[in-house]
Amino acid sequence: MTMTEACVYSLARSLVVGLVAWPLCRVQTNWLRSLSDRRRAWAWWLVFLPFLCPELWTGYAWSGFAARLTGMGLWPSAAGTGTRQPLAILGRDALVDEVLLDLLLLFRAIPVGTLALYFAPPPRVSRAAWYCWQQATSPTARIMHTPVRTAGDQAGPAELSPRDTSTREQTGNPRYNRWRASLQFWLERQGARWPAWALMTLVTFQEFELASLLGRPAWTVWLFDAQVGGLALTESLRKTLLPVLCQATVLLPLMIWAFRQRASATTNACEPAPRHWYTSLVSWLAIGLGLLFLIGLPALHVGRDTWNGLWRVVQSPSQFRTLLSEIGAGLVYSLTAAGLTTFAVAILWRRAQSTRWGTISLCLCSGPGLIGPLVTGLALIRLLQEPGLRLIYKTPVSLLLGLVLWLLPRGFLLRALLQNSTPTQGSHLARLLSVAPAPRVRGAAGELLWKLRWRREFWGVVVLAYWAFFDLTTASLLAPVTIVSAPVMLYNQMHFGKNATLSALVLLTVLIPLGIFAVAGWSRRFLSVWLWR
């Protein structure tokens, strides 16, 4: 398969996944808006958990799924006649893996679309206005447009006066005008919702780890393998023109829509969510299936043969020390990149809310991350090979720069989510209490400030760091030669098959950072007491 064919295949897959996920996102948005503030905060974490799950973990657990079904005896595997011929068996396994990949991408895209729909500004045409227009243009209402007869008129067809005739000539075909106005009303009504589909399409189109580990074609897999295999950098950049063009056709209308919303400054209140009996059922079903396919079943599969592998890892001190050093190096880089991203997001977010140039800066800074880490990494390699920038190529600076550019759009999404899911009232009073002379009052003020502001900042940095830690593409392209992160090392070993030791290493790579973040969050209370005493 050529690069063009792989790009078209990925585009078709992303379009289908986005169209299927869009109505589910609308149902989940209505469900979230119908919840109370406290329940909505917990519901957001449940909705977003499938997207937070590392793709390396999910892809490793589901790799070789079609072959395992054959080993379970669900269908014959021997070559023979009819559907048992080798080519038919390969096609059947490819179809199973493709359906599985589409399901995994669907459950990963739903949180992104739900977030975009929930925080999208209300449409300029309300539901009531759209209903009135439908009633006004219905066939039963067209009697209002017929000429009115007077009492002195004789029977016969009504005739238009010269003034009415000129009016009809100016307005053109009434049926065409009604159709055009209805289309304009519908576009204004749906204009605030299509960016959700655009973001889901981008996320699905840029997928790399899942497609690679499941053995399915994608432009990211083709280009990454070609670059690692020795393809010239100029040729790799030339190959990225078609994927960038496909993504630009989605990104440019999205940015134009953002500018129009910024310029129009609509003040319509958010419409009340319609309540249906199936809203909660569909939402919980989507959340449950997403958690099952992306977290639950992979945990069962990876953890089933892990105990023997853990014992082997413990018996090999050198291997365990190597894993810990790789995890530690990856966490240092990811935490640094997450901190820098949070700082940049806070500045850009504040300026975007006050000035138009701030909105332009926000969109420009989000551009490199929105086109994917692979294209951004290749462009940075080319940029850092210029005479004045060669000193920072393949250094920690280049890796941090690539991670920050990739994390910026996700940081803006997290800022919108965390800022609206936690109330911020009372933070000024808490800051005033923090300078009180009594240590007990200062401690209570510090705890209140943590709950009102710093808790969401802390967990935002944690989520960004966890994403950066498992970013395989940027680490492979821009990391220093002497530093190999744990995800890169594990990805290279996953292509040689599964074994108990590798499953144990994958489980430790996922759980050790989570344990460190959990301990940091738990010890925060004792640290705050010491700081505010």
Q: The tokens 């199936």 sit on which residue?
A: 278
Q: Which of 318, 324, 287 is nearest to 515 (CA)?
A: 324
Find out whether 110 and 103 touch, Cβ atoms under 8 Å: no
Grade residue 501 by pLDDT with cuts at 50, 70 and 90. confident
Grade residue 165 by pLDDT with cuts at 50, 70 and 90. very low
Relative orientation angle of helices 37-52 and 3-33, to the nearest 10 degrees: 160
* Distances, alpha carbon 105 to alpha carbons 33, 51, 88, 472, in Å: 25, 10, 26, 18
Q: Which of 167, 96, 39, 61 is nearest to 494 (CA)?
A: 61
Q: Which of 211, 191, 192 is nearest to 203 (CA)?
A: 211
Give the model's pLDDT for residue 133: 62
* Distances, alpha carbon 166 to alpha carbons 156, 171, 175, 415, 426, in Å: 22, 9, 17, 57, 65
Instruction: Tell the burial category of 116 from Cβ atoms under 10 Å away from its Cβ (0-12, 13-18, 19+).
Output: buried
Locate 111 and state its tokens.
């949180």
Grade residue 531 by pLDDT with cuts at 50, 70 and 90. low
- Residues with Cβ within 8 Å of 402's Cβ and at least 6 positions away in sequence, in order, are 373, 376, 377, 380, 474, 477, 478
Q: The tokens 């670059």 sit on which residue?
A: 227
**pLDDT (mean) for 447-461:** 75
Give the model's pLDDT for residue 81: 45
- What's the pLDDT tens digit per position in 191-249? 566 778 888 999 999 999 999 999 899 999 999 989 888 888 889 999 999 999 999 88
The amino acid at 353: Q
Indicate whether 267 pLDDT > 50: no
Q: Which of 37, 14, 48, 41 is nearest to 286 (CA)?
A: 48
Grade residue 333 by pLDDT with cuts at 50, 70 and 90. very high
Find out whether 89 and 77 touch, Cβ atoms under 8 Å: yes
Give the model's pLDDT for residue 227: 87
**pLDDT (mean) for 430-459:** 67
Quick one: CA torsion of 483, 485, 491, 497, rounded to 10 degrees?
A: 90
- Residues with Cβ within 8 Å of 522's Cβ and at least 6 positions away in sequence, in order, are none
C-alpha 193, offset from chain centre: 15
Give the model's pLDDT for residue 313: 84
- Report the sign of the C-alpha dihedral through residues 123, 128, 131, 136, in that order: negative
Length of the chain: 533
Burial per residue of 492-501, b for 16 or more beta-carbon CB atoms within 10 angstroms, e otherwise:
eebeeebebb
More confident residue, 449 or 463: 463
Give the model's pLDDT for residue 160: 42
Indicate whether 385 pLDDT > 90: no
Relative orientation angle of helices 373-383 and 219-228, to the nearest 10 degrees: 30
Find out whether 14 and 233 touch, Cβ atoms under 8 Å: no
Task: Please give the mean pLDDT across all residues of the chain.
Answer: 79
Indicate whether 337 pLDDT > 90: yes
Instruction: Return d(Cα 329, Cα 293) in angstroms, integer.
Output: 30
Q: Which of 486, 521, 484 is nearest to 507 (CA)?
A: 486
Give the model's pLDDT for residue 110: 94
How many Cβ atoms are within 10 Å of 70's Cβ, its own excluded?
Answer: 17
* Distances, alpha carbon 500 to alpha carbons 95, 302, 308, 313, in Å: 28, 9, 6, 10
Give the model's pLDDT for residue 109: 93
HSE, side-chain direction, 13 A CA sphere, residue 192:
22
Give the model's pLDDT for residue 259: 64
